[in-house]
Amino acid sequence: MQKYPLTRKRRLRYTQSIRDLAAENTLNSSDLIWPVFVLEGENRRESIKSMPGVYRLSQDLLIEKLAKLYSMGLKAVALFPVVTAEKKSEQAEEAYNSDGLVQRSIRKIKSELPEILVISDIALDPFTIHGQDGLIDESGYVLNDETVEVLCKQAVSHARAGVDIVAPSDMMDGRILKVREALESNGYINTSILAYSAKYASCFYGPFRDAVGSSGNLGKSTKENYQMNPANGKEALDEIAMDIDEGADMVMVKPGLPYLDIIKSASETFNTPVFAYQVSGEYAMLQSAIDNGFLDEKKAILESLLCFKRAGCDAILTYYADRVLEYLNE
Ligand code: PBG
């Protein structure tokens, strides 16, 4: 390394133009995936107490908003259904109902806005009465292999509806291979799998569970016997390696900002795209500070997302995607 004054690191920070020219990373519209909560019915838009500024939308309003975001550069949307109580059951049959809310939403988006990539969550928590991501036994333990069978039916039903990417998010063992085999054997060879490979048992999902209405169902029980322990980093690399071997096209780390170390090592270790999820609790933290006037909205949002890029992320699920598209289009 050359010494001062031959090297003055501040030269490349002298003007905005030179800073832009020398930037190692940038945030673009193609980095963003917009997660959205979908409601039954028409002309419905509900606010979410723990996520001020985020709304649950009925399909018609979702299509309107997606059309606008598409014109601003949005490439992908991730759907999360708000399932009404009477559709929830022990065996989560609604998960693979060809006429379910997710399946109908996929068909609607793909017919009206075919260029937008639709990503669907593969997990049972919106559909179980107990709010766990899988089927449970008498003791409440989440059953692995039995759950995976239902996940396969769910994934195939989404593929049949035209989804571009299925995203198994439940952390059952072996589910990527089984979902991949189910897609292949049903002819959906170009349906991608985005594996939530390193998904931690995190308290930062709290506002999401309020948004989809599963927190009441879950009660005091946790997901700690299938989602990862926040204490562990090396284990995440094992999880990711297994999912890639089983046929994942893309892998995900979740939550995001508190787990940038995991994103970094994943992106350095593997040649598969690494995505991250800036989850509901991260949104709630940032937005609370923004709403209190403690942080500048635009700067805080853009900086938090740029840091994901620096850590090696290829795309980011963020509830701020719509606002960021506005900033990028200014
Ligand atoms: C459930 C699922 C969760 C999230 C996405 N899919 C919550 C959970 O595991 O309980 C959380 C997303 C967020 O917090 O924004 N399969």
pLDDT at residue 213, as a whole number: 86
CA gap 68, 241 in Å, rounded: 38
Active-site positions read 199, 254
Confidence band (pLDDT; 50, 70, 90) for 242?
Answer: very high
Confidence band (pLDDT; 50, 70, 90) for 58?
Answer: very high
Pick from 125, 199, 217, 226 the residue to mutate for probing ligand 1's pocket: most ligand atoms within 8 Å of its CB. Answer: 125
* Contacts for 203 with CB less than 8 Å, ≥ 6 apart: 281
Number of helices and strands in the chain (H, E): 12, 10
Alpha carbon of 205 to ligand 1 centroid (Å):
6
- Asked whether 91 and 51 are in contact (CB, 8 A), the reply is no
Token reading at 310: 């620096």
Q: Is the per-residue pLDDT at 196 higher than 90?
A: yes
pLDDT at residue 68, as a whole number: 98
Pick from 36, 122, 172, 205 the residue to mutate for probing ligand 1's pocket: most ligand atoms within 8 Å of its CB. Answer: 205
Q: Which of 23-37, 203-217, 280-294 has the weakest average pLDDT? A: 203-217
Token reading at 34: 């917009």
* Atom 14 in ligand 1: residue holding the nearest Cα: 205
Q: Does residue 282 line the site of ligand 1, with CB under 6 A? A: no
DSSP 202: -
Q: Where are the domains of the chain?
A: 26-328
**CATH code that applies to domain 26-328:** 3.20.20.70
CA gap 89, 74 in Å, rounded: 35
Each residue's pLDDT tens digit, 275-314: 999 999 999 999 999 999 999 999 999 999 999 999 999 9
pLDDT at residue 235, as a whole number: 98
Alpha helices in 34-99 (DSSP H): 59-71
pLDDT at residue 85, as a whole number: 95
Confidence band (pLDDT; 50, 70, 90) for 216?
Answer: confident
